[in-house]
Structure 1
């Protein structure tokens, strides 16, 4: 049983490798998008914490 040339495939590069390559190629834009995402996420978590704060009786 031999492997035919049509059956051999090269493995696809992993998504992590592709993402890292894109981040290096588009460094400033990737950093900006990451920063905006981080700020938005922290703002969302802060808003949820503020809206869900317990009210203490006085």
Structure 2
């Protein structure tokens, strides 16, 4: 009888552990990503607006 291998950590668990370990860098990257996404959405919304 073989010993079952321990279950692999989920992607979310590994990402959270990495974020805690890297701290400030992860927060900076998350802030830049959020800012970029909001900027793209605002740009698309302004381009889609009908002109008067």
Provide the TM-score with structure 1 as the length reference: 0.82
Q: Which has the higher helix share?
A: 2
Structure possessing the higher relative contact order (Cα contacts under 8 Å, 6 or more residues apart): 2
**Which one has a bigger Cα radius of gyration?**
1
Provide the TM-score with structure 2 as the length reference: 0.90
Q: Where do 5+ consecutive residues of structure 2 fail to align?
A: none
The list of structure 1 runs, each at least 4 consecutive aligned residues, that deviate by more than 2 angstroms after superposition, is none
Aligned length: 52
Q: Distance in 1 between matches of 2:41 and 2:12?
A: 27
